[in-house]
Amino acid sequence: MAIDELPAGYHGVHPAHPKAGWERLDWRERHPRAIRIRVLEHTCECQDIVYELCQAGGLLFVRRHYRAADGAVVTESEWLRAVPARRLWTNILLGHVR
């Protein structure tokens, strides 16, 4: 679907609310490991927390932007191979991991 075909008022993907028994992810301080990072997917910008599925150097990771009153805090997940990283991304979107 092209961007001009999106329904009016479309924001973007919103992660589901945390499910019962959700798992806490070990978010890490962001350290520059690559010169170029490609954002493959992201959640809606209208939320206080925005997640990005990123790729760099053959690995994938999730970047989390938490917008607080005193500024944004950016953290990252562990850098993973494609399959585990995609599984992590799906679990974040489904509310199983935060």
How confident is the prediction along the chain (98 residues), in pLDDT tens digits per residue?
444 555 666 678 999 999 999 999 999 999 889 999 999 999 998 889 999 999 999 999 999 999 888 888 999 999 999 999 999 999 999 999 99
User: So what's the pLDDT on residue 1?
Assistant: 44
Does pTM surpass 0.85? yes
Task: Report residue 21 as tokens.
Answer: 């028994």
Task: Give Cβ neighbours of residue 77 (< 8 Å, ≥ 6 apart).
Answer: 25, 26, 27, 28, 61, 62, 63, 64, 85, 88
